[in-house]
């Protein structure tokens, strides 16, 4: 099996690492390859790299022509995710929705058997509607996403699942919650960037700002392992899976865990700005039982191990200590 990974960022880089550790040689495509950053995660001598734009179908076809591609992992998304989409909705809609449509259509034309794509846990939270007693003959029965980013991810899931229904392409949409993990270049969502700044400031002896809202996190290595499991499982069954740590962390808990990992760190809990798309409100942990049952997914990085691993990587790969 040769896998095309689209998007060489926080999760895509870890997918490449897992595949190379298993003796496979994936093809990694990104519009702007950050080779030096990627090299801190995976041995570049064990992967093939290609620059390409998911909005250009011929680029996708050219990538598939490079080798015997049997499956695609699609992680490319508009920068800053929810925050980016709220600022630039048209660009986010174009990249997130048409990017997935191009991937699925290219897979159909080239006979690719399985596509695993990034969705988001925003669909578990940012919804309105769902009234009218669930009566589908009435206008408000169907829940609707109330952010641009969530709207694009709902479209991603629906389009992918319809390609399964109509053309038999196996499709999995993985609803990652905010991802934390090793990365030293640009990219990732707003929460990922805040978590990264928190860890880096703590390691460097600066005040670490802890997000002042209850959050559910997943380590990039766990998100990537679930992605690989979705590639390898014999039958996907349901096509949508929650991929999270499986629990909520209150701000004080996260601050305490950071203090355990980095003794002497100075922390400050900071509330998110009013109107922030991911602050406040109820945050119910996602149910990961379906991913456990079908994919065999089990988070390997609870928060203490996550922080220990992340800090060790940062000190070794970024600080060189």
Question: What does the pLDDT look like over 273-321, one tens digit per residue?
Answer: 665 555 545 668 899 999 999 999 999 999 999 999 999 999 999 999 7
Report pLDDT for 72.
98
Q: Which of 171, 182, 218 is nearest to 319 (CA)?
A: 182
At the fourth CATH level, which superfamily is domain 2-181+218-247+282-301? NAD(P)-binding Rossmann-like Domain (3.40.50.720)
* Predicted TM-score (pTM) of this structure: 0.95
Do 195 and 217 form a contact (C-beta atoms < 8 A)? Answer: yes
Q: Average of pLDDT values for 67-96?
A: 93
Question: What does the pLDDT look like over 181-228, one tens digit per residue?
Answer: 999 998 888 889 999 999 999 999 999 999 888 889 999 999 999 999
Pairing of strands 208-211, 170-176: unpaired
Q: Two tokens at 62?
A: 């050219």
Positive/negative CA dihedral, 200, 220, 9, 285: negative
Question: What does the pLDDT look like over 40-54, one tens digit per residue?
Answer: 999 999 999 999 999
| 7, 14, 54, 130 from 101: Cα distances, Å | 15, 24, 10, 27
For residue 97, give every residue at least 6 positions away whose Cβ sits within 8 Å of its Cβ, in sequence order, or none: 152, 155, 156, 159
Do 229 and 297 form a contact (C-beta atoms < 8 A)? Answer: yes
Percent over 90 (pLDDT), the chain: 79
For residue 50, give every residue at least 6 positions away whose Cβ sits within 8 Å of its Cβ, in sequence order, or none: 27, 28, 29, 62, 63, 66
Question: What does the pLDDT look like over 94-139, one tens digit per residue?
Answer: 999 999 999 999 999 999 999 999 999 999 888 888 777 877 888 8
Q: Indicate the average pLDDT of the chain.
A: 92
CA 261 to chain centroid, in Å, comes to 25
Question: What does the pLDDT look like over 229-242, one tens digit per residue?
Answer: 999 999 998 799 99
């Amino acid at each position: 099996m040769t896998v095309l990974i689209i998007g060489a960022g926080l999760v895509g880089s870890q997918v490449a690492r897992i595949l190379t550790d298993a003796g496979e040689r994936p093809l990694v495509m990104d519009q702007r390859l950050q080779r030096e950053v990627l090299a801190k995660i995976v041995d570049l001598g064990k992967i093939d790299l290609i620059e390409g734009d998911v909005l250009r179908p011929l680029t996708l076809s050219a990538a598939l022509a490079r080798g015997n591609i049997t499956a695609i992992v699609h992680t490319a998304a508009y920068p800053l995710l929810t925050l980016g989409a709220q600022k630039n909705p048209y660009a986010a809609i174009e990249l997130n929705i048409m990017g997935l449509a191009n991937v699925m259509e290219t897979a159909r034309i080239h006979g690719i058997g399985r596509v695993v794509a990034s969705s988001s846990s925003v669909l578990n939270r940012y919804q309105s509607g769902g009234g009218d007693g669930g009566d589908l003959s009435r206008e408000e029965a169907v829940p609707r996403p109330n952010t641009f980013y969530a709207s694009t991810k709902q479209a991603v899931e629906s389009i992918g699942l319809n390609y399964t229904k109509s053309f038999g392409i196996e499709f999995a949409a993985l609803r990652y919650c905010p991802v934390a993990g090793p990365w030293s270049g640009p990219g990732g969502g707003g929460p990922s960037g805040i978590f990264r700044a928190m860890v880096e400031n703590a390691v460097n002896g600066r005040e670490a700002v802890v997000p002042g809202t209850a959050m559910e996190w997943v380590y990039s290595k766990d998100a990537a392992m679930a992605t690989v499991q979705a590639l390898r499982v014999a039958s996907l069954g349901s096509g949508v899976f929650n991929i999270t740590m499986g629990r909520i962390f209150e701000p004080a808990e996260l601050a305490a865990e950071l203090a355990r990992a980095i003794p002497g760190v100075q922390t400050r809990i900071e509330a998110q700005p009013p109107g922030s798309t991911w602050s406040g409100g109820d945050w119910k942990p996602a149910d990961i039982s379906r991913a456990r049952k079908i994919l065999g997914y089990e988070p390997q990085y609870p928060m203490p191990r996550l922080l220990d691993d992340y800090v060790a990587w940062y000190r070794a790969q970024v600080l060189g200590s």
